[in-house]
Amino acid sequence: MLTINQQPTTIIRRINTVVDHADRLGRCCPKSVGSIHGADTLSAKLIIKVSGMAIALLAGSLMLQVGTVASQAASVDKVGESGATAIAYYSRIAGDKNRTRLVVDFDRIVNFKTLFLENPNRLIVDLPETIFSFGNDGKEPVYGLISDFRYGAIAPGRSRIVLLTSAPTRIDQATIKPLGDDGHYRLKLDIVKTDQQGYREAIFRQSGNIGASGNVAYKGDRIKRQNTRTKNRITVVIDPGHGGIDGGAKSQKAGTEKNITLNFALALKTELEKVKQLRVIMTRERDVFVSLSERVAIARRNKAKLMISIHADSLKQKGIRGATIYTLSQEGSDTLAQQMAESENRSDLLAGLSVPEQNSEVVDILVELTRRETEVFSKQFARTLVSQLKGRIPLIKNPQRAANFHVLRAPEVPSVLFELGYISNLKDIQQMNSPRWRQQTASNVKTAIMNYLRPRIARGE
């Protein structure tokens, strides 16, 4: 077993061994995956023990690898103990624009449920808790009718595959059958192109079977009700973007956005918890999916005085770098802001939630007044944050922008979206992966928060 005295390189090597092993299992040796129950449980435990320290010690892209492996390992460990988690270790998509087959191999039999959604057309396959170890680093090649293939945790004990289809489809065949005689199973899903009318009708029929929407939104990490000691403290909500099945932006060098946002959010939490007057709430502290509306609800339930949503997206223009602070606006302040908002607002869709959030018509004049006041506060904080960060970290041109981000919509909670930088830019990747940069930037955010809140605390607001 590793101890805290061991060198990071040793840890990395051992972690890599397990990653390689997982890779091999995913690619070529379906039968040998069974060994994860036995020998690999040991490795998995080893990583869990190590991950906390590793996160403290390691810099660079390795951090992300550790994060990913650690979260997988945590689930792998459960397999050893309870046998409850399935492992999907092989997948293949084949076919053409009229008929496409998805094959997924599991280490055991799983119950699955399929569900069609539209706008955009998607086929959801709901599964029990599953570790996906396909060995392609989440970038599965897609063919035929399937234009996007993603998978991951959607709620505790539940996993999901989301297939974006380029046309309306129906299931021609869906089976799960033994693969050989050692308890492994193959899920085979044949989809064929259908017309929009038939698709609509199928969706209508399925809604009768499963209730209104089939919508599964994870309720967020349970928020403990605060006791009286927290009564006079001011609540700040930190919202690490993405999580679980929703990885956010991705790049080879940086890994996935969901890990970058969580790492920064945890650093910010540590900084903010040093301030006695603050009570810090996170919308997620682990690699779990939380819907956009649930993030907003967490801020509202906790009567937050400020919400900071953390992101690190990707742009086609690799040269663009630096941080941006966004506030809510119905119209984007520019095309970049609008682009960003559109891609962020797709989070729930890509995770397979059925009903995209709509702009609800504001009928209540009081809500409208609150919203306007909140907008002023949000902008004030954004300005304070920009001036605190200026000269300390790279900012993009006109770093204070506005667009219609769903996650900033709480009418009474001043909210900003802090885009740390772009994972499409090498220098930004480097700094976001540096624990030192994260700590210093988090400390600057803390200063900005206190500069913004202090007059309010003094006025007893």
Q: Which residues bind Zn ion (CB under 5 A)?
A: 241, 248, 311, 313
Q: What is the CA radius of gyration of the chain?
A: 23
9 in Cβ contact with 62 (< 8 Å):
no
**Look-up: residue for tokens 């061991």?**
6
Name which of 315 and 413 has its Cβ closer to Zn ion.
315
Name which of 121 and 259 has its Cβ closer to Zn ion.
259
Report in angstroms how near the CB of residue 284 gets to Zn ion at its nearest.
13
Report CA-CA distances (Å) from 43 to 40, 63, 140, 452. Answer: 5, 18, 26, 47
Name which of 16 and 293 has its Cβ closer to Zn ion.
293
Report in angstroms how near the CB of residue 325 gets to Zn ion at its nearest.
14
Burial of 83 from C-beta contacts in 10 A (0-12 / 13-18 / 19+): exposed
| Cβ-proximal residue to Zn ion, closest one | 311
CA gap 376, 438 in Å, rounded: 28
Report CA-CA distances (Å) from 228 to 223, 231, 233, 269, 402. Answer: 15, 5, 10, 21, 37
Report in angstroms how near the CB of residue 422 gets to Zn ion at its nearest.
11
Name which of 297 and 341 has its Cβ closer to Zn ion.
341
The residues near 456 (Cβ < 8 Å, ≥ 6 apart) are 234, 305
Report in angstroms how near the CB of residue 313 gets to Zn ion at its nearest.
5
Helix 257-272 to helix 435-459 angle (10° resolution) is 50
Name which of 241 and 322 has its Cβ closer to Zn ion.
241
Report in angstroms how near the CB of residue 378 gets to Zn ion at its nearest.
18
Report CA-CA distances (Å) from 57 to 5, 123, 431, 436, 441. Answer: 11, 41, 16, 11, 18
Report in angstroms how near the CB of residue 258 gets to Zn ion at its nearest.
8
Name which of 287 and 313 has its Cβ closer to Zn ion.
313
Report in angstroms how near the CB of residue 166 gets to Zn ion at its nearest.
24
DSSP state of 320: -
CA gap 164, 308 in Å, rounded: 30
Name which of 184 and 401 has its Cβ closer to Zn ion.
401
Name which of 244 and 248 has its Cβ closer to Zn ion.
248
CA neighbor of 258 nearest in space, from 318, 328, 313: 313
Report in angstroms how near the CB of residue 386 gets to Zn ion at its nearest.
19
